[in-house]
Amino acid sequence: MTNAANAVRSNRCAWANATGLVQIAAGLAAPGVVINFTANEQIFGENEPADFIYTVVSGATRSVRLLDDGRRHIGAFHLPGDVFGLERGEAHRFTAEAVGGSRIGLVRRTVLERAAEQDSDVARRLRSLTANALEDLQDHMLLLGHRCASQRVELFLMRLARRAASATVDLPMSRCDIADHLGLTLETVSRSLNQLVRDRTIELPSVRRVVVRPARSG
Amino acid sequence: MTNAANAVRSNRCAWANATGLVQIAAGLAAPGVVINFTANEQIFGENEPADFIYTVVSGATRSVRLLDDGRRHIGAFHLPGDVFGLERGEAHRFTAEAVGGSRIGLVRRTVLERAAEQDSDVARRLRSLTANALEDLQDHMLLLGHRCASQRVELFLMRLARRAASATVDLPMSRCDIADHLGLTLETVSRSLNQLVRDRTIELPSVRRVVVRPARSG
DNA sequence: CGAGCGTTTGAACAGCGTCAAAACAAGTGG
DNA sequence: CCACTTGTTTTGACGCTGTTCAAACGCTCG
């Protein structure tokens, strides 16, 4: 795949900026490959063999599950630097799709596992990675179980803002994506967003751009 | 603590039956200590230093978070063989309490970490433990985000039944505990349970005992 | 027996989902 | 440049599910 090889060569700085898997892979001889995905393109499917570990170089991805009744559940979004597709068993438990156009890095799972076996530092980073994911899920669980619609949306935006280290956030995902992640409908997400604007908790300069107001104290 | 020492001596078979941490600890020189807790007694508190790893020998525990508005969130229940209190950082992110009277095993965190550093097999088991927890949380997230009340209760009971490898389950926890775990109110849990009885999905021989009907096919 | 706790049940209410339509943005072709 | 298409977002009206508040019931233990 010449495309992927070109992507690697032309994108050194993205590799350097990314965290997590990239840093782990950087300690290995095999730095992996970068592939371009277009919007909504599938990266891997549920139940497919989990031979690779993935990292977001640029863009964003979503981990999706289709429910029996046709509804869609988004377990998580992955932003640049995030690692995904790290499974315990042999198969993926989610479908992964690109939210918008995205560059995704790949590392062979066996390579990573062998490295973890030999280098306790790689092993520790790997553990830290899953422990991090665990804590994120715990927080998200609390949100889903015990927060009303507008709080879910607000907390979601605040998490994105903290992640971006900026009050201004460009949303890569649609209202529908957000809804399926927060356990709401897209209509409720839209209403909640505009409610937050009325409350002066956020600003909405354009449909996909949000400015999170600093927690007002006074 | 003579109590704990007695507990260890008088309870060898519980140790042998338990999985996870116990098996990990069994490979070490220090098998840890077992302590008895009474119903609703606190095992450790949120934000307290996480110096120990815990395992349920008998009974059950819950991982609790108190919300700012006074409501309570139960992140997980832990049954015999389960490991809990395994944190990434220095402090616990949940309060842990005994649901009923429980025997809890302790292992020093530093001991476990040193063992993982040296023995890649212990490290792998540790990774498998957190990966397992991760998958459980992913399933629970789907439940909280995309299931109605009666489905949440039904799935919760089915998980318990599978765990017990028996259609009959003795619930260690109250309706309120279940509610705070499923993101419902205790009234809704009660109504859902009786709805499931009317649907002949479960039987309720006594308040704390449930018989899960096998998935009816026909 | 009565006290206290957990559970069940009922009735009124509110928040969110559903359905439907309008507003809006972005791209296409005339 | 405008008309048209397509997909996303917003807005409105209504109904249902789950919450809230309240009371009754059933345990267990003193």
Mean pLDDT of A196-207: 97
B chain contacts of residue A181, beta-carbon cutoff 8 Å: 145
User: Which of A209, A195, A113, A129 has the alpha carbon at shortest distance from A164?
Assistant: A209
Please check whether residue A75 touches B, CB under 8 A. yes
User: Which of A46, A45, A72 has the alpha carbon at shortest distance from A177?
Assistant: A72
With residues binned 3-state (H G I as helix, E B as strand, rest as coil), the percentages for chain A, rounded to 5, are 45, 25, 30
Q: Which amino acid is at B109?
A: R
The confidence band for B119, taking pLDDT boundaries of 50, 70 and 90, is confident
User: CA A35, A38, A40, A41 torsion: positive or negative?
Assistant: negative
Cross-chain Cβ contact A142/B73 below 8 Å: yes
Per-residue pLDDT at A21 exceeds 80: no
Radius of gyration of chain B (CA): 18
Assess whether A194 (CB) lies less than 7 A from strand D.
Answer: yes
C13 C1' to A72 CA distance, Å: 30
- The most confident of A120-124, A170-174, B124-128, by mean pLDDT: A170-174
Q: pLDDT by residue (tens digit) across A129-174?
A: 999 999 999 999 999 999 999 999 999 999 999 999 999 999 999 9
Closest nt to residue A188, judged CA to C1': C16
Give the span between the Cα atoms of A125 and A32, in whole angstroms: 18
Q: pLDDT by residue (tens digit) across B129-185?
A: 999 999 999 999 999 999 999 999 999 999 999 999 999 999 999 999 999 999 999
The confidence band for A120, taking pLDDT boundaries of 50, 70 and 90, is confident
**Distance set, CA B55 to CA A3, A33, B81 (Å):** 50, 41, 6
Q: Which amino acid is at A185?
A: T
The predicted pLDDT at position B217 comes to 57
The confidence band for B31, taking pLDDT boundaries of 50, 70 and 90, is low
Other CB atoms within a 10 A radius of the CB of residue B200 amount to 9
Mean pLDDT of B38-60: 96
Name which of B95, B137, B185 to mutate to probe chain A: the one with the most chain A Cβ atoms within 10 A of its Cβ. B137
Per-residue pLDDT at A11 exceeds 50: no
Closest nt to residue A185, judged CA to C1': C17
Assess whether A174 (CB) lies less than 7 A from strand D.
Answer: yes
How does the average pLDDT of chain A come out, rounded? Answer: 87
B chain contacts of residue A75, beta-carbon cutoff 8 Å: 138, 141-142
DSSP chain B: -HHHHHHHHTTHHHHHH--THHHHHHTSS---EEEEE-TT-EEE-TTSB--EEEEEEES-EEEEEE-TTS-EEEEEEE-TT-EE---SSSB-SSEEEESSSEEEEEEEHHHHHHHHHH-HHHHHHHHHHHHHHHHHHHHHHHHHHH--HHHHHHHHHHHHHHHHTSSEEE--S-HHHHHHHHTS-HHHHHHHHHHHHHTTSEEEEETTEEEEPP----
Question: In strand C, which positions have an atom below 7 A from any protein CB?
Answer: 6-11, 15-20, 25
Name residues 141-170 of chain A within 8 A of B (Cβ).
Answer: 141-142, 144-146
Spatial CB neighbours of B68, under 8 Å, sequence gap ≥ 6? none
Per-residue pLDDT at B88 exceeds 70: yes
Least CB–CB distance from A131: residue in B65, B88, B132: B88
Radius of gyration of chain A (CA): 18
The residue among A192 and A31 whose pLDDT is bigger is A192
Question: In strand D, which positions have an atom below 7 A from any protein CB?
Answer: 8-13, 17-22
Least CB–CB distance from B141: residue in A67, A75, A146: A75
A chain contacts of residue B132, beta-carbon cutoff 8 Å: 88
Q: Angle, nearest 10°, between helix axes B149-164 and B186-198?
A: 80
Give B2 to chain A, closest Cα distance, Å.
35
Name residues 80-139 of chain A within 8 A of B (Cβ).
Answer: 87-88, 93-94, 116-117, 120, 123, 126-128, 130-135, 137-138
